[in-house]
């Protein structure tokens, strides 16, 4: 076994232990989406169609959790172990790709940066689909690179056609799996089309083979996704790749304003249904799907107010390059320069230190344009559709997280080239980016280490319910963040409606025959400020069963309905 392989295995083991250390930041379920993935894994294990839920959360990430859950009873723990397995897979794929463009030991440094990345650390310790999406994207990128590299080398466009057929089928299957993980992956169909067309124009593929290969690719993609497309059609009575269009269009109008947080998301989704949305809304109410009443295509969305659309698009483009991508690369280190409570605030030397990785990245991207045309062409073909598509609506870091490993590869490509004439400078540049990643991780750790305290209140609420409420199996529990629902192992998630009227909540409660309402200070103070008073006084139709308060005066209340 080669020394570099042994070192990679050792690095991966250390990386798993490193990520395992940070699991202490997520000992209590605290992300609403995690509930959906864990519940889907439960239904998959039961061989129940409910695994697919309502088409808002794609199911594939829950599948490996369900498999690991066969051996581990605690599904939350099973999901965290699944994340570590997927982390290992991501590391290997990134190492394999990196070895093609830099020397073996520099490729190991790419893996080190990936394992140290604080933003990926954040996602890997939570139960979120990025954990599967990233290795699948790296697999797609790897297969695409091999396909294009062979095409570029071959002198005859018809040479090795059978191998090309197998490769495009593999690409179609992987994009299908990406789609079943996150719906937006369908935009990468455009990436493959762009690459195939470009190589056809370069006469590396004949037009006949272009249509043949494209047909094989598209058919393999459809074969993988067709069962789920049929499920969506059966659910919504419409044919389409996603049922999120209406929500995304409305969020785009709300989220580009100065205030951008989850409250806009709730408002956007709640507006999608009929007048009594607090009774039948899909996402604002119980999970089974309700057909949106707000309709409209993307073309209509653009043409309704072109000037607003253009301003929103340009603002999102600016945000992508000045905020999203920098935060993905080194996360919060540069922002410490502007933070009033940071020891680095206003320190010009720290600002210069934080800017060095971006300068190296930009310079070597330009250099790669001359040296590694296949890598650059592939990267651009995947990045460009994402860059355009997501900025039509709103930009979030998680939409571009899949490009982070490639950013680290470009950085280490530059460092390895610099090491050819200055080993000392190369070591300095490696220390530069590692110090920034570790600093960001330290900031992240300090910000997150006490957050379990609040969510533990909800866990405490369920412990109390389990001891004091008879027949507590399969309770219907309504709450904004379905944490008590998770620990009660409730089969359906009932989300407190987006409303400023307590009567709406009462009606919703009656309509669905819900057993208990969980009110918490974070929910009402952040998302339903007009209802904050009910943290201190009990509405006339409710009975307060128990109140939980921690040292920070955060509060969780269990209400029962007076029928």
Q: Say which range, 95-99, 176-180, 529-533, 554-558, has the weakest mean pLDDT.
A: 529-533
In 10 A of CB 111, how many CB atoms?
Answer: 24
State residue 51's pLDDT score: 54
State residue 198's pLDDT score: 85
* H/E run at residue 191: helix 188-201
CB-neighbour burial class of residue 431 (10 A; exposed 0-12, middle 13-18, buried 19+): exposed
The mean of the pLDDT values for the chain is 82
Domain boundaries, the chain: 1-128, 292-448, 452-561
For the ranges 245-249, 319-323, 435-439, 479-483, the maximum mean pLDDT occurs at 435-439
DSSP 251-320: HHHHHTSS--SHHHHHHHHHTTS-TTHHHH-TTTSBSS----S----HHHHHHHSHHHHHHHHHHHHHHI
The phi, psi pair for 508, rounded to 5°, reads -60, -40
State residue 116's pLDDT score: 96
In 10 A of CB 28, how many CB atoms?
Answer: 18
CB-neighbour burial class of residue 236 (10 A; exposed 0-12, middle 13-18, buried 19+): middle
DSSP letter, residue 125 = T
What's the mean pLDDT in 10-34? Answer: 90
What's the mean pLDDT in 188-209? Answer: 86
State residue 296's pLDDT score: 55
For the stretch 385-416, what's the b/e string if a residue is b when 16 or more beta carbons lie within 10 angstroms of its beta carbon? Answer: bbbebbbbbbbebbbbbbbbbbbbbbbbbbbb
Res 480 pLDDT > 50: yes
- CA 417 and chain centroid, separation: 33
State residue 216's pLDDT score: 92
DSSP letter, residue 495 = P
With cut-offs at 50, 70 and 90, classify the pLDDT of residue 452. Answer: confident
With cut-offs at 50, 70 and 90, classify the pLDDT of residue 269. Answer: low
Which CA distances in Å does 460 have to 517, 518, 548? 15, 12, 8
Q: What is the pLDDT of residues 537-550, one digit of tens each?
A: 888 888 899 898 88
For the ranges 105-114, 284-293, 314-323, the maximum mean pLDDT occurs at 105-114
Under DSSP, is residue 557 helix (H, G, I), strand (E, B) or coil?
A: strand
DSSP 366-425: HHHHHH-HHHHHHHHHHHHHHHHHHHTT---GGGGGGGHHHHHHHHHHHHHHHTTT-HHH
State residue 96's pLDDT score: 95
Third-level CATH fold of 452-561: D-Maltodextrin-Binding Protein; domain 2 (3.40.190)
State residue 233's pLDDT score: 72
What's the mean pLDDT in 368-383? Answer: 86
State residue 365's pLDDT score: 78
What's the mean pLDDT in 452-459? Answer: 80
What's the mean pLDDT in 184-210? Answer: 86
Q: What is the pLDDT of residues 52-104, one digit of tens each?
A: 555 667 889 999 999 999 888 888 999 999 999 999 999 999 999 999 988 88
What's the mean pLDDT in 369-377? Answer: 83
Q: What is the pLDDT of residues 484-499, one digit of tens each?
A: 888 877 767 777 877 7
With cut-offs at 50, 70 and 90, classify the pLDDT of residue 483. Answer: confident
Res 372 pLDDT > 60: yes
- Using CA atoms, how far apart are residues 322 and 320, in angstroms rounded to an integer? 6
Q: Which one is predicted more confidently, 290 or 551? A: 551
Res 268 pLDDT > 80: no
Which CA distances in Å does 214 have to 167, 188, 194, 301, 379? 11, 13, 11, 31, 20
Cβ atoms of 145 and 378 closer than 8 Å: yes
Q: What is the pLDDT of residues 401-430, one digit of tens each?
A: 999 999 999 999 999 888 888 899 999 999
What's the mean pLDDT in 260-277? Answer: 52
Res 49 pLDDT > 60: yes
Q: What is the pLDDT of residues 156-179, one digit of tens each?
A: 555 577 888 899 999 999 999 999
With cut-offs at 50, 70 and 90, classify the pLDDT of residue 244. Answer: low
């Amino acid at each position: 076994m080669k020394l570099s392989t042994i070192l990679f295995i050792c690095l991966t083991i250390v990386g798993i232990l490193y990520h395992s250390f940070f699991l202490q930041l997520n000992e209590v379920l605290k992300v609403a989406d995690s509930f959906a993935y864990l519940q889907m894994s439960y239904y998959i294990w039961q061989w129940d169609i409910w695994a697919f839920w309502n088409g808002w959360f794609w199911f594939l990430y829950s599948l490996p959790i369900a498999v690991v859950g066969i051996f581990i009873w605690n599904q939350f723990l099973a999901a965290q172990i699944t994340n570590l397995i997927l982390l290992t897979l991501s590391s290997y794929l990134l190492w394999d790709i990196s070895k093609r463009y830099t020397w073996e030991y520099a490729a190991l440094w790419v893996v080190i940066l990936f394992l140290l990345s604080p933003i990926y650390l954040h996602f890997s310790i939570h139960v979120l689909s990025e954990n599967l999406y990233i290795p699948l994207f790296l697999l797609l990128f790897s297969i695409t690179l091999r396909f294009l590299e062979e095409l570029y080398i071959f002198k005859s466009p018809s040479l090795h056609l059978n191998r090309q057929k197998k490769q495009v089928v593999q690409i179609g299957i992987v994009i299908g799996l990406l789609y079943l993980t996150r719906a937006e992956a369908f935009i990468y169909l455009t990436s493959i089309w762009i690459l195939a067309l470009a190589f056809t124009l370069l006469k590396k593929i004949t037009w006949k083979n272009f249509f043949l290969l494209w047909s094989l690719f598209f058919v393999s993609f459809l074969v993988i996704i067709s069962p789920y497309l049929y499920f969506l059609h059966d659910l919504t009575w419409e044919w389409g790749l996603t049922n999120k269009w209406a929500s995304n269009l409305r969020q785009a109008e709300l989220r580009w304003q100065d205030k951008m947080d989850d409250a806009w998301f709730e408002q956007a989704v709640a507006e999608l249904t009929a007048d009594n949305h607090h009774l039948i809304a899909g996402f604002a109410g119980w999970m089974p799907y309700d057909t949106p009443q707000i309709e409209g295509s993307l073309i209509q969305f653009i043409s309704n107010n072109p000037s607003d659309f253009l301003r929103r698009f340009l603002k999102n483009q600016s945000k992508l390059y000045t905020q999203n991508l920098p935060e993905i690369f080194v996360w919060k280190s540069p922002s410490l320069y502007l933070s009033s409570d940071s020891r680095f605030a206003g320190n010009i030397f720290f600002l210069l230190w934080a800017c060095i990785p971006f300068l190296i990245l930009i310079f070597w991207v330009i250099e790669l344009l001359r040296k590694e045309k296949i890598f650059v062409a592939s990267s651009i073909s995947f990045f460009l559709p994402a860059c355009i598509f997501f900025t039509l609506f709103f930009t979030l870091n998680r939409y571009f997280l899949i490009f982070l490993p490639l950013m680290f590869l470009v950085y280490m490509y530059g460092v390895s080239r610099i090491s050819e004439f200055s080993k000392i400078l190369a070591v300095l540049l490696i220390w530069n980016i590692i110090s920034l990643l570790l600093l960001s991780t330290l900031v992240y750790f300090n910000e997150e280490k006490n957050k379990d305290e609040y969510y533990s209140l909800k866990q405490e609420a369920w412990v109390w319910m389990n001891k004091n409420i008879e027949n507590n199996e399969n309770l219907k529990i309504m709450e904004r963040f379905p944490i008590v629902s998770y620990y009660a192992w409730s089969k359906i998630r009932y989300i407190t409606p987006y409303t400023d009227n307590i009567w709406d909540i009462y009606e919703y409660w009656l309509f669905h025959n819900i057993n208990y309402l969980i009110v918490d200070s974070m929910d009402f103070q952040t998302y339903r400020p007009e209802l904050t008073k009910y943290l201190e006084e009990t509405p006339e139709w409710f009975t307060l069963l128990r109140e939980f308060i921690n040292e920070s005066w955060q509060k969780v209340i269990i209400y029962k309905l007076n029928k």
